[in-house]
């Protein structure tokens, strides 16, 4: 399905009323390739979206927005694991629910993360002490120029905190069409983060973890269908042990999470909250009053409102803590993605 000059309000979770020159909903790889070829012929940019849950449109998009609607879930059971191949257009949370309903635990900590399966490896999505890279074994990548599909094994994905090779080397001219998962039958509850610490490791089931994660997220995070938002706007910052030590001397209750590489992860939401920014508003954009890490569209926000608010949050946090926050959300200008830090500087 192709439509020209279409409003993207229903295709980005910030619910911004920006327009695209063309919108294509692609249910097949052939449609994706043809859309790419047509965009190239017209010398127009092409932007691939899944759920539109991690983007901030800065203005109208001058080219084609391609919605990845590839569907399908295949499961192969082995002696020690379930091997899943999932098409990129599947909804992420619905996949989590599907695995639990079919007795395949392992994704429950990642429940209610908005977006599609194809978007998950790009950001290396994570929540409640777990990241996608722990269960992802490969990503199938379509080269739009030659129509070939290459399987990128886990080792080549260059997963890191909210990072992957798909944000860099495979940023243009490629689209994720499928993701492979391995869910081990030697399941263990991951309860080291937040409210999950209250659960008993010996008796807690995957479904109980799932329900606890859903309850916590629903209590703190706004539903994009009700109030436009893109989930966590900023990454949790990584600092040196020395910086963390100095901050903990000043703020003993500050959450901090030592990392394997020697750095320390801080909670961006806590830093923003300590600056008294919950509920702070510029135009129609505001810091959510229950979760400071989320910037929301209260109904009539412009792209510039959100940019100005993000700038204010960053500048306020650095003034108080001398720690710079980096956006997790991708910034999209008329011709494609741009450097979010440059926009906010």
Provide CB contacts within 8 A for 260, sequence distance 6+: none
Which one of the listed residues 53, 116, 162, 217 is annotated catalytic?
162
Interhelix angle 206-220/92-101, nearest 10 degrees = 150
No. of H helices and E strands in the chain? 8, 21
CA distance 150 to 310: 37
CA distance 58 to 343: 10
Q: Tell me if residue 232 is catalytic.
A: yes
DSSP codes of every residue in 309-335? HHHHHHHHHHHHHS----B-SEEEETT
Q: Tell me if residue 302 is catalytic.
A: no
Which one of the listed residues 90, 303, 328, 330 is annotated catalytic?
328
Q: Tell me if residue 342 is catalytic.
A: no
**Distances 37 to 14, 49, 209 between C-alpha atoms, Å:** 29, 17, 45
Residues 234 and 328: beta-carbon distance below 8 Å: yes
Which one of the listed residues 35, 232, 302, 303 is annotated catalytic?
232
Active site residues: 162, 232, 328
């Amino acid at each position: 399905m192709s439509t020209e000059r279409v409003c993207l309000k229903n295709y980005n979770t910030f619910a911004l009323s920006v327009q695209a020159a063309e919108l294509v909903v692609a249910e097949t790889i052939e449609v994706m390739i043809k859309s790419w070829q047509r965009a190239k012929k017209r010398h127009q940019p092409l932007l691939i979206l899944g759920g539109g849950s991690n983007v901030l449109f800065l203005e109208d998009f001058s080219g084609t927005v391609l919605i990845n609607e590839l569907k399908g879930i295949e499961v192969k059971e082995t002696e020690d694991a379930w091997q899943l191949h999932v098409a990129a257009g599947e909804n992420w949370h619905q996949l989590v629910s599907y695995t639990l309903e079919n007795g395949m635990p392992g994704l429950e900590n990642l429940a209610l993360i908005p977006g599609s399966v194809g978007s998950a490896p790009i950001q290396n999505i994570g929540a409640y002490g777990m990241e996608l890279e722990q269960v992802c074994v490969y990503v199938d990548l379509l080269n739009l120029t030659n129509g070939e599909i290459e399987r990128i094994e886990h080792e080549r994905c260059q997963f890191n905190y909210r990072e992957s090779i798909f944000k860099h080397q495979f940023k243009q001219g490629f689209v994720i069409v499928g993701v492979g998962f391995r869910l081990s039958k030697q399941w263990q509850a991951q309860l080291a983060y937040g409210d999950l610490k209250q659960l008993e490791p010996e008796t807690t089931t995957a479904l109980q973890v799932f329900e606890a994660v859903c309850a916590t997220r629903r209590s703190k995070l706004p539903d994009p269908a009700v109030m436009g938002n893109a989930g966590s706007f900023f990454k949790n910052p990584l600092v040196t042990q020395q910086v963390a030590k100095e901050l903990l001397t000043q703020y003993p209750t500050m959450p901090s999470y030592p990392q394997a590489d020697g750095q320390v992860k801080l909670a961006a939401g806590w830093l923003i909250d300590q600056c008294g920014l919950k509920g702070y508003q510029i135009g129609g954009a505001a810091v959510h009053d229950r979760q400071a890490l989320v910037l929301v569209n209260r109904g009539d926000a412009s792209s510039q409102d959100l940019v100005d608010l993000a700038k204010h949050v960053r500048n306020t946090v650095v003034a108080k803590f001398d720690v710079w926050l980096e956006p997790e959300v991708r910034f999209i200008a008329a011709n494609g993605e741009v450097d979010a830090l440059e926009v906010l500087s």
